[in-house]
Amino acid sequence: MRRLRFLLALIIVLAMSLTAFAHPGKLDKNGGHYDKETGEYHYHKGPNALESLEIRRNTVYRAKVERIVDGDTIIVSFIFDDGSKYLKERVRMLGVDTPETVHPTKPVQYYGKEASNFTKEHLTDKTIWLQTDVGVKDRYDRMLAYVWLKEPSKKDLDDEAAIRKNMFNAQLLLGGYAQLMTVQPNSRYSNIFVHFQREARQEKRGLWGKDPE
């Protein structure tokens, strides 16, 4: 009985210690904190962030574009408040599918170079904001995201005019550089994207302008 009481007291002391180091506010000098719910230590910035950054659903992250892979795939670094950067993450844009240009087994597809050049023109070396949906990674371990050209407010996330103006995925559809591709459960903007693709087709923009030769 005495041993049981000792074990219970030890558990309470440990729990209090973890709570004392829990963080929803300041990070410690190493750029990390103890998670209040799990008691685990996580880095949020600095050189160790690479090993522990957890990408969360329905969250917006600030990032720097490091390289363009093709029209709908980019490589980014995450930017933290102190200016430090998490190393690189490959990002596949949600809701869109541009023609292939770098597929290992497929030839360059019609309008693929135009789509890739459009992405290079607008995203190269830019600071962007990545918005996740329900599923944050695909089977190739790529981050899945909507790409914003300016930081979206909470209102912007549900505003069609803001999406049209400032979301790059939408601009790919509106310019005829991509076709709609909805993969569940990531369907937050699927209805809006349907309208954008219909507009591009009706106006014969981009890949809708003529039949491939």
The alpha carbon of residue 142 and the mean position of all alpha carbons in its chain are separated, in whole angstroms, by 9
* C-alpha distances out from residue 96 to 72, 107, 129, 180, 184, Å: 7, 19, 17, 5, 13
Please identify which of the residues 89, 92, 114, 188 carries the catalytic annotation: 92
How is residue 158 written in tokens?
A: 């549900």
- Between CA 59 and CA 141 the distance in angstroms is 18
160 Cβ neighbours under 8 A, 6+ residues apart: 192
- Phi then psi for residue 47, to 5 deg, are -65, -20
- Between CA 79 and CA 86 the distance in angstroms is 7
* C-alpha distances out from residue 66 to 4, 76, 101, 120, 143, Å: 56, 5, 19, 11, 15
3-state secondary structure of 103: coil
Catalytic residue list contains 92 = yes
How do strand 85-93 and strand 95-97 relate by DSSP bridges?
unpaired
Please identify which of the residues 90, 114, 139, 142 carries the catalytic annotation: 142
3-state secondary structure of 130: strand
Please give the positions annotated as active site. 92, 100, 142
